[in-house]
Structure 1
Amino acid sequence: MYRPLTEPSLAFKYFQIFLVVGAYWCVSILTVFVNKALLSGTDVNLDAPLFVTWFQCLVSTAICYSMSRVAKLFPNLVSFPQGNPLDRNTIRNVIPLSILFTAMISTNNLCLKYVGVAFYYVGRSLTTVFNVILTFVLLRQKTSFQCILCCAAIVFGFWLGVDQESLTDSFSWKGTIFGVLGSLSLSMYSIYTKKILPFVNQEVWLLSYYNNFYSSILFIPLIVINGEVPVIFDYPNLDESWFWFAMVVGGVCGFSIGFVTALQIKVTSPLTHNISGTAKACAQTVMATQWFHETKSFLWWLSNFIVLAGSAAYTRIKQLEMKAQHESQARSTKI
């Protein structure tokens, strides 16, 4: 009697995980390709990357606000944490993180604008390295020698990738620098997020709502300073419905990637999410070379493999270290 009941439920669980991981892969890869088309595609042809990023924040803010209103009206159907982004205490506590969030998404999109999709992962691969450096500098937490070796492998893979990419016509020093800045801002954002999450009762979606709301305001002066206002008003397709449809799709993709990421971590684990992200990056790189008809050298592919292997090894080592630390603390508690 027990076996027939267990097997279908187990099969359903694996099927659910398969669907969620598949959704994460599809949404994540689609988001990169859609953003690439919006930022530097010949069809859109709008040289205003900060405006595109600002509009995506605006769409995400509108979605979060709509969900919060629907959750108030139909709490049994929709669940969304309640909060007011105009509250003074909220502004004072969250705005520093939102500044980092603005820097993170802007540098990531600027990197994607100037480099090819195939090189995008390697261009932003130093996040783990910056995490280790900033964790030591800001939190005084040391990292094991094994993890440092993994970081060294990632740095070598990044250097080799830049060296090989520089031999191609698609290479951009500007895009590479924005990739490094994107990795740095992502690391700082991740560390500071841990400090701010208790303020919002660990509600990731509420924090996302605040970040997108504040970034929608922070981007306005940046757009002006970057000289994008005349570019926007002179854009010939500004009154075309297909252009705004593409912009909304980009915004929905930007919101969806946060949703499917949280969902994948929920149904699997942070380790599985990192492994899935690494495998997705590999598939994304292969797809990009085929889609854009790019031919890469053996050393270029080797650089990707080194970065992927170093990132995966780092994730696995950290997971084993955390598990050992947890078991040690459990034994100490029993004693």
Structure 2
Amino acid sequence: MAAKTVSGSPSKTLIIICLVLNICCSILIVLVNKWIYTHYGFPNITLTCIHFIVTTIGLLICYQMDLFQPKRLPVISMLPLALTFCGFVVFTNLSLETNTVGTYQLIKTMTTPCIMFIQTYFYRKSFTNKVKFTVVPIAVGVFLNSFYDVKFNLIGIMFATIGVIVTSLYQVWVGEKQSEFQVNSMQLLLYQAPLSACLLLFVIPVFERLPNPQTFLTAWPLEVILMVLFSGVVAFSVNLSIFWIIGNTSPVTYNMVGHLKFCLTLLGGYVLFHDSLQFLQVLGIFTTLAGIIAYTHLKMEESRKPMLPSAENGRAEKKNII
């Protein structure tokens, strides 16, 4: 189904296509969800649960179309992945609720160094100093963009910090589980999506049903239902591309794509909706882009290096490319 190189790894063209698809779908889902939240106040975690239900249905349709073959996996081993996803959703929402957007974005940039730390000390992955230093201009760029909106409070920092740790674990485990069980993105997501949806059903009453019981008694108009279903279809593309990108590149690369989406969203808001941009924000965007470009350049240089002679080292190099 996918273009491959001689060694069996995805071609660079396919990787670029999937990165572009992820960026486009991620920006689209932000716009769709913003419309749903702004105009109708649809509950956030409930929408995420629906996303995973639609993703599960989409994967079953793909199976019926012979696009992939399911592989039996131990459910107990998949629970940590599903739990960290739920934690990521909950603590991200709590961080947004208790912090300003600027503070939220600033602390969120710590996800990349946190992933590097986890992979280095728990999974024996290595990063060159040059790659590590690309995180600096990205963090500085986000800080410059958020300068006027950064305000700290103890509870907000606590939620944001837990969110960063849980998100980092989730993204690392997406890649590790694919490697551990020798499965592709569809095979892994077929287990994680329904598990996460079931776990979120226990979270929804606490975070959404109890605080706002009237929300669940609302008779939603047809246009909202259609937009929610459309959002679910886009979420299916986003979820699948996330798993594919992390499984075939790395969690750090996916995070770099996330920073790029952040910059493109700001620039798109300025171009399409005439949102105001201060000088520091523009400087921050270009500083962040400089870090992303530097990271991309370094990883492309690494990918040009000859493969190591031993099979074990060859596999290690292949796994760490991009």
With structure 1 as the length reference, what TM-score do the two structures score? 0.70
SS in 1 for 2:282: helix
Q: Does 1:132 align with 2:116?
A: yes
C-alpha separation in 1, matches of 2:219 and 2:31: 21
Is the contact made by 1:164 and 1:299 (CA closer than 8 Å) also made in structure 2?
Answer: no
Is the contact made by 2:102 and 2:149 (CA closer than 8 Å) also made in structure 1?
Answer: no
Give the alignment partner of residue 187 of structure 2, picking from 192, 200, 206.
Answer: 206
Is the contact made by 1:103 and 1:182 (CA closer than 8 Å) also made in structure 2?
Answer: yes
C-alpha separation in 1, matches of 2:289 and 2:280: 14
Partner residue, 1:29? 27
Alignment of 1:102-251 (within 5 A): 102-107=86-91, 124-166=108-150, 182-229=163-210, 231=212, 233-235=214-216, 237-251=218-232
Q: Does 1:45 align with 2:41?
A: yes
Q: Measure how far apart 1:256 and its partner are.
A: 1.4
Amino acid at match of 1:137: Y
**Gapped regions of structure 1 (runs ≥ 5):** 1-12, 72-77
Alignment of 1:47-126 (within 5 A): 48-68=43-63, 70-71=64-65, 78-83=66-71, 90-107=74-91, 124-126=108-110
Q: Measure how far apart 1:118 and its partner are.
A: 10
1:20-78 CA-to-partner distances (Å, cap 9, x unmatched) read 7765543232112112223x31x1123x221111111111112223333x24xxxxxx3
Q: Measure how far apart 1:212 and its partner are.
A: 0.9
C-alpha separation in 2, matches of 1:172 and 1:34: 31
- RMSD, aligned CA: 4.3
Q: Measure how far apart 1:128 and its partner are.
A: 2.2
C-alpha separation in 1, matches of 2:21 and 2:172: 27
Q: Does 1:252 align with 2:248?
A: no
Q: Measure how far apart 1:213 and its partner are.
A: 0.5
1:90-135 CA-to-partner distances (Å, cap 9, x unmatched) read 2111111111222334555666789999999767433322222222
Partner residue, 1:3? none
User: Residues 157 and 278 of structure 1: is their aligned pair in 2 closer, same or farther, counting only changes over 3 Å?
Assistant: closer
Mean Cα displacement is larger for which, 128-137 or 20-29? 20-29
Mean Cα displacement is larger for which, 216-225 or 127-136? 127-136
Mean Cα displacement is larger for which, 151-160 or 28-37? 151-160
Is the contact made by 1:25 and 1:280 (CA closer than 8 Å) also made in structure 2?
Answer: yes
1:132-163 CA-to-partner distances (Å, cap 9, x unmatched) read 22223323444322122212222222333332
User: Residues 51 and 303 of structure 1: is their aligned pair in 2 closer, same or farther, counting only changes over 3 Å?
Assistant: same
User: Residues 287 and 83 of structure 1: is their aligned pair in 2 closer, same or farther, counting only changes over 3 Å?
Assistant: same
C-alpha separation in 1, matches of 2:266 and 2:103: 7
Amino acid at match of 1:126: M
Is the contact made by 2:88 and 2:163 (CA closer than 8 Å) also made in structure 1?
Answer: yes
C-alpha separation in 1, matches of 2:99 and 2:231: 18
C-alpha separation in 1, matches of 2:74 and 2:112: 29
Alignment of 1:323-334 (within 5 A): 323-324=304-305, 326=307
Q: Measure how far apart 1:174 and its partner are.
A: 8.7
Is the contact made by 1:127 and 1:183 (CA closer than 8 Å) also made in structure 2?
Answer: yes
Q: Measure how far apart 1:175 and its partner are.
A: 8.6
Q: Does 1:316 align with 2:297?
A: yes
User: Residues 112 and 208 of structure 1: is their aligned pair in 2 closer, same or farther, counting only changes over 3 Å?
Assistant: farther
C-alpha separation in 1, matches of 2:96 and 2:231: 14
C-alpha separation in 2, matches of 1:116 and 1:223: 23
Q: Measure how far apart 1:254 and its partner are.
A: 0.5
Amino acid at match of 2:169: M
User: Residues 229 and 103 of structure 1: is their aligned pair in 2 closer, same or farther, counting only changes over 3 Å?
Assistant: same
